Every structure is written in C-alpha cells, then in structure tokens.
Structure 1
C-alpha cells in the first residue's frame, strides 16, 4: 500500500512540472538570445603587434 501511495504521489507531483502555456522552445529561446562578441563569429582578430 505504501508503494502505491508513493507512486500516486509521484505522478501527482509530476503534473505540476508541466507548463500550462503553449509557447514553443523557439519562442522561449528568443528571450535568452546570445550576442556575438569579438572573436565569437569564427573570424578572430589578428594578433597584437610585437614590440
């Protein structure tokens, strides 16, 4: 009986982890956009001059 209760409790608690909105992952990714900085765009800057 204890295992049945724990299984049901786990299922019920798991239902609270699901989102109620219909937003897709791509819409959420727009919130956390990344911006390229110097050297991050596969075109690294030239090395500094020696001297």
Structure 2
C-alpha cells in the first residue's frame, strides 16, 4: 500500500483512490463516528 517514490505522480493517485474509498464508505464511517461521539458524551456526562 505504501509507495516509496518521492515524485508526486507516484503519491497522488493512491491518495485519490483512498479519498474515493472514504467517500464510498462515508455513510458507514459517519455512523460509526456518531456512535463513538455519543458514547464519549455519555461517559463525560456520567462523571
């Protein structure tokens, strides 16, 4: 996965691919993050 080339041409395409993956999984990640946030808020309020 890691690209050790120093030129931008070798670095940018994988980043674009990762961004596309993140956009596709955005809904899943968003729900997971919301769940984590609500859990953190519950823990903070319990103190």
Query: Which bracket does the TM-score occupy, shorter chain normalised?
Result: 0.3 to 0.5
What TM-score, normalized to structure 2? 0.34
RCO higher in 1 or 2 (8 Å CA, sep ≥ 6)?
2
Larger Rg computed on CA atoms: 1
Compare the two structures and name the one with the higher helix fraction: 2
- Output the TM-score relative to the length of structure 1: 0.33
